[in-house]
Homo-oligomer: A and B are copies of this chain.
């Protein structure tokens, strides 16, 4: 930012734009902003910045018309804002994960093109006209629905985060991945449109012995998970839209299960079957996977709810401070599978002192919350942390508190406090503080 000394200010309409711009050039001189509240080393700039004194090409020549991009895409200058995978994490990209670029995003909605992917058999490509959803098992009337059938039931719209149970999993054994895209990027948050699962179950008529629902996907992995009836009848949705438009293929097009606040693996994509039973099925993805192996060799199972968690998204290793000292925005995300976030605290010194952050934007249950902490950076080293508190009053734990309780065998359900080390030059690294 720099100041301008203007010798003449015209409030009149400009009849000759070229002339107006040309004549304005001599009125522009850069200087130091006297008394400005934004204290920044970037304020002083060479006078006569040609980017404001000269007419630029985009101001001189007509741009693209409205017939050129029926479906719009991001600017070419945002080509670095993409999902990224980590090839060494998994053997094969069809049973792997990529990560949401949280460090480049803001607000609480994740754009559809950037929602992380987790597949167990690759992205199934399905013509919605060929898709069927069956309800069978302990029901009065087994049913098969087409997509058009589903569209005839009453719909709801809800904003929910979806977090993979393995998000931050590599952090159990210390800081290994240098960027919040990789440590925390298995989360996204969109508006879902769908039919409450309870309506479909009511249509089939659940027998009194029906206590569980098995959700099965139509992809090559035929993902299967057991869901207790109480949750199925509470807030689960059979969703066909995200952020207003059809689900994306990698998110289960044409239809997925939404299990608010619970681990992402249960949100079965390409949903083709719901079986009602009297006990859980103990499928592979709820026994050998998605259970938490403790230090004593026993495993926690049915650990469905994603607990209260937060992370600072900027500054972070992929988003260093490049503007030097002075006014600085710390931005981050917080969420809880138990409801809304009541408070977020930020520490600049590795957890010794805490400052209440500002939660901004809609505060919706089981949705991402955006927080900010605006402060004046003096250029000294920082150990940034955030700590979320949800509507139950539950406080996000440290990683060491989690390790003391659960050991280090698991990769799931790490909601520990993350630390970023900000160096004097603004470079940021993933570290741990004891």
A binding-site residues for B, Cβ under 8 Å: 1-6, 9, 11-13, 17, 30, 33-38, 40, 42, 49, 51-52, 56, 58-78, 81-85, 87, 92-94, 96-98, 104-115, 117-119, 121-128, 130-132, 134, 136-138, 140-146, 148-149, 151-159, 191-193, 202-203, 214, 218-220, 222, 241, 243-246, 248-250, 253-254, 270, 272, 275, 277-279, 281-283, 322-323, 326-329, 331, 358, 360-362, 364, 370, 372, 374
Residue among B94, B153, B222 making CB contact with A17, cutoff 8 Å: B222
A144 cross-chain contacts in B, Cβ below 8 A = 1-4, 30, 49, 52
Contact A203 B136, beta carbon cutoff 8 Å = no
How far is B195's CA from A106's CA once the two chains are assembled, in angstroms?
A: 12
A128 cross-chain contacts in B, Cβ below 8 A = 77
How far is B40's CA from A64's CA once the two chains are assembled, in angstroms?
A: 47
A146 cross-chain contacts in B, Cβ below 8 A = 1, 42
Contact B72 A220, beta carbon cutoff 8 Å = no
Residue among B5, B155, B362 making CB contact with A142, cutoff 8 Å: B5
Contact A361 B157, beta carbon cutoff 8 Å = yes
- With most chain B CB atoms within 10 A of its CB, the pick from A110, A246, A278, A358 is A246
How far is B246's CA from A158's CA once the two chains are assembled, in angstroms?
A: 24
Residue among B119, B134, B249 making CB contact with A4, cutoff 8 Å: B134
Q: Would A36 and B69 be within 8 Å (CB), given that A111-B244, A122-B64 are in contact?
A: no
A281 cross-chain contacts in B, Cβ below 8 A = 11-13
Q: 4 smallest A-B Cβ distances: which pairs?
A: A65-B93, A63-B122, A157-B361, A70-B82
- With most chain B CB atoms within 10 A of its CB, the pick from A35, A78, A322 is A78
Closest to A127 in B: B77
Closest to A80 in B: B70
Residue among B4, B51, B87, B323 making CB contact with A136, cutoff 8 Å: B4
Q: List 21 A-B contacts (CB under 8 A).
A: A2-B143, A3-B142, A56-B126, A58-B219, A59-B222, A62-B94, A66-B98, A67-B96, A71-B74, A72-B248, A74-B248, A104-B245, A106-B241, A108-B191, A108-B244, A109-B243, A111-B245, A151-B323, A152-B328, A153-B327, A155-B360
A38 cross-chain contacts in B, Cβ below 8 A = 149, 152-153, 203
Least CB distance from A45 to B in Å reads 8
A360 cross-chain contacts in B, Cβ below 8 A = 155-157
Closest to A115 in B: B72
How far is B40's CA from A96's CA once the two chains are assembled, in angstroms?
A: 41
Q: Would A142 and B219 be within 8 Å (CB), given that A63-B121, A82-B71 are in contact?
A: no
A158 cross-chain contacts in B, Cβ below 8 A = 361
Q: Assuming A75-B246, A111-B245, A151-B329, what are 5 further A-B pairs, CB within 8 angstroms?
A: A42-B149, A66-B83, A109-B244, A110-B244, A148-B323
Contact A56 B109, beta carbon cutoff 8 Å = no
Least CB distance from A201 to B in Å reads 12
Contact B149 A220, beta carbon cutoff 8 Å = no
A329 cross-chain contacts in B, Cβ below 8 A = 151-155
Closest to A218 in B: B59
Q: Would A142 and B4 be within 8 Å (CB), given that A51-B132, A58-B220 are in contact?
A: yes
Closest to A373 in B: B154
Contact B157 A51, beta carbon cutoff 8 Å = no
Least CB distance from A149 to B in Å reads 4
Contact A69 B6, beta carbon cutoff 8 Å = no
How far is B108's CA from A156's CA once the two chains are assembled, in angstroms?
A: 11
How far is B278's CA from A105's CA once the two chains are assembled, in angstroms?
A: 38
Least CB distance from A98 to B in Å reads 4
How far is B68's CA from A74's CA once the two chains are assembled, in angstroms?
A: 18
Contact B58 A125, beta carbon cutoff 8 Å = yes
Contact A70 B96, beta carbon cutoff 8 Å = no
Closest to A104 in B: B245
